[in-house]
């Protein structure tokens, strides 16, 4: 890869360990419509947008409610939970972001979650000030594994895609980063389900490994 000029972070499962919260809320939301999914079925939606997830569930299970109604109900419920129970940064995240800031490397968030949710989580975790740009799922037409969200983040940072590093915890996210011609670090987070991150250029178990890799370049 070229010299690193920018870092792009997924949010859920990378900056905060939110997937367990999401999966519980998804189970609760599905059960209200008579839908029961196991962990493997839930984990296929990790890294995708709420629209993609609910569109798939509505089609597969023939739900009568409109897509907008399903999404609005789920989003409201999720916002209530995250307002009452803020998520802390994952271990080592703040240290990594500090190191990138000191090195003059601009950072962006590229999250499939809607902006209201992303801004709430970043603000509550004390991370918002680290990011020059935030791109969210409701700003793109095509969800991960399409590369659109990462290409938009690179464009907003003013950096060539091939000079960006992406940190992702989902198979969809890794596929999107590689389709965008970016160097991808796969964060193996057990709470994100059994994600196959083998397509990533580098796989790690914690953020301190990324800090070590970056400082050694």
Q: Which residues are catalytic?
A: 10
* Cβ neighbours around 27 below 10 Å, total: 15
Q: Are 211 and 96 in contact (CB under 8 A)?
A: yes
Peptide bond preceding 145 in cis form (omega within 30 of 0)? yes
Overall residue count recorded for the chain in this entry: 217
Question: Which ranges in the chain belong to alpha helices (H)?
Answer: 19-31, 39-43, 50-61, 67-84, 93-102, 115-124, 148-157, 171-179, 207-215
Give me the sheet containing 183-187, strands edge to edge: 133-136, 107-111, 6-9, 164-168, 183-187, 202-204
Residue 97: C-alpha distances to residues 9, 137, 188, 197 (Å) = 10, 22, 19, 23
Q: Are 47 and 144 in contact (CB under 8 A)?
A: yes
Strand 107-111 relative to strand 6-9, pairing: parallel
């Amino acid at each position: 890869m070229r010299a690193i000029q920018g870092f792009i972070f997924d949010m859920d499962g990378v900056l905060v360990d939110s997937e367990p919260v999401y999966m519980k809320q998804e189970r609760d939301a599905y059960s209200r419509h008579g839908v029961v999914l196991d962990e493997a079925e839930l984990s296929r939606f990790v890294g995708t947008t709420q629209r993609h997830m609910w569109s798939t569930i509505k089609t597969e299970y023939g739900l009568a409610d409109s897509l907008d109604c399903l999404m609005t109900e789920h989003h409201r419920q999720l916002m209530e939970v995250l307002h009452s129970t803020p998520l802390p940064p994952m271990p080592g995240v703040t240290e990594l972001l500090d190191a990138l800031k000191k090195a003059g490397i601009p950072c962006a968030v590229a999250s499939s979650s809607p902006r209201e949710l992303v801004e709430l989580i970043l603000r509550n975790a004390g991370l918002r000030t680290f990011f020059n740009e935030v791109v969210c799922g409701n700003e793109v037409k095509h969800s991960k594994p399409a590369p659109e969200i990462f290409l938009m983040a690179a464009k907003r940072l003013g950096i060539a895609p091939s000079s960006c590093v992406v940190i992702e915890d989902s198979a969809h996210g890794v596929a999107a980063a590689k389709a965008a011609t970016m160097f991808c670090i796969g964060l193996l987070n057990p709470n994100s389900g059994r994600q196959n991150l083998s397509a990533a250029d580098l796989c790690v178990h914690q953020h301190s490994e990324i800090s070590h890799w970056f400082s050694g370049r």
